[in-house]
Amino acid sequence: MSDKLSKVKEILGEVFDLNRAAAVLGWDQQVNMPPGGAEARGQQLATLGKIAQEKFISDEVGSLLEDLKKEFSDTETDEGAMIRVAARNYDKARRVPPEFIAEQALAATKAIEAWVEAKGKSDFSIFRPHLEKNLELIKKYVSFFPPAAHPYDVLLDDYEPGLPTAEVREIFDNLRPKQVALIKAIGGAKQIKSDFLQKPLNEKKIWDFSERVIAEFGYDFKRGRQDKAPHPFETTFSVNDVRITNRYEKSEPLATLFSAMHECGHALYELGGNPAYERTPLAGGASLAVHESQSRMWENLVGRSLPFWQHFYPDLKKTFPSQLDGVNVKSFYKAINKVKPSFIRVNADEATYNLHIMLRLEIEIGMVEGSIEVKDLPEIWNAKMRDYLGITPPDDAQGVLQDIHWSYGAIGYFSTYALGNIISAQLWEKINREIKNLEEQIRKGQFAELREWLRVNLHQYGHKYDPRDLVRRVTGQDIDPAAYVRYLTKKYTDVYGL
């Protein structure tokens, strides 16, 4: 290894460590920290963020990267890919003052606590000034970069490198009418009985059941854990410490299970990364859309499939005999796949889920453009819910306050959920061509070959390839909703007898 490569890896490793230490503090904030610790935690995160930024954007790092780009010009090699990704990140980070990073971290910490309180009281006014501050900082962040075709491009690029807003809109415009047509067809079919799903479940029993399921998926509890938090998430501290959080909802008791499968999908991606990429810019997933393809795959394409429940349903019924008395596996399968417009995105069925994402994308674009003001969000949110889904949230908690993302300044993020759905179906078609008996394996509770296929073809590459390039390498296609439409049509034709 050249001296310059060794030196830049040393510095990048230290930046990596600082960011992962901040992740530990962020996890603790949502899992363990008492509310009174918010101000001090904000200062701690601000300090770490500032130090990491200063260390990364130093002239020394810039000079090393410039020299190394010439020495490692072949980006197919790990070293060349690492320098390419580091140089790209450096160019972006160099535009953002360390003081701004600290200010944003402090604002986000306060906003998260305000969001928790506002959601608990279903009162948007508590959160409003914090979201206004976050939005002000987001617009300031955009101003650090050269003008793009759309200001939202700058934000989207942080989560989905190289994918412009116009292309996301084109993909969604292609998908939306097909999903709406499917929803209308389902609306005319005989409706499915699902009231038994709302029966209360013992919280500890469904929590333990969820852990048995994800352990069978391959989540290694020696390298991870599941804790309670206001909003489920996955966080990575190292390739050997990948944690998830979850929650219990009285109104949707099975949501704990599906959230566990979702976050497990994220975790398996991180756990399957190449250990050699640890403490380098290649660690982690290629993008949030690719990451969401993994979480949505395990939650839905696996976890809401009939073969999956042919394996797990006897255990679930044994765990909750009174709640599932008289309900056979096919009835249960249909019930968990029932299509009904709902207020809460994370609990939405597959047919309507993407409409929640498209709604949020429109709102975020409006906020960034300035055509939507924060003070008007509850009314705008409710109006768009009526337009998209035909329902009106009864309160702020089930409407504009339902997601945590805006509290920590994650604007530019939401489209990746729907893009993840699309990519998951493209991957699924490829996997089923290569694993001929996959359905039978799932029916037997065997997930090792699926997990290994994903590790070999996707997970191990981390950030080595840009997301669109990675999708093309694995599936032979660009990001295209056709496979997802085929998947939904086939599934709901079976469920509803269309």
- Answer yes or no: 449 catalytic: no
SS (HEC) of the chain: CCHHHHHHHHHHHHHHHHHHHHHHHHHHHHHCCCHHHHHHHHHHHHHHHHHHHHHHCCHHHHHHHHHHHHHCCCCCCHHHHHHHHHHHHHHHHHCCCHHHHHHHHHHHHHHHHHHHHHHHHCCHHHHHHHHHHHHHHHHHHHHCCCCCCCHHHHHHHHHCCCCCHHHHHHHHHHHHHHHHHHHHHHHCCCCCCCHHHHCCCCHHHHHHHHHHHHHHHCCCCCCCCEEECCCCCEEEEECCEEEEEECCCCCCCCHHHHHHHHHHHHHHHHHCCCHHHCCCCCCCCCCHHHHHHHHHHHHHHHCCCHHHHHHHHHHHHHHCCCCCCCCCHHHHHHHHCCCCCCCCHHHCCHHHHHHHHHHHHHHHHHHHHCCCCHHHHHHHHHHHHHHHHCCCCCCCCCCCCCCCHHHHCCCCCCHHHHHHHHHHHHHHHHHHHHCCCHHHHHHCCCCHHHHHHHHHHCHHHCCCCCHHHHHHHHHCCCCCCHHHHHHHHHHHHHHHCC
Catalytic residue among 263, 270, 299, 364: 263
Active site residues: 263
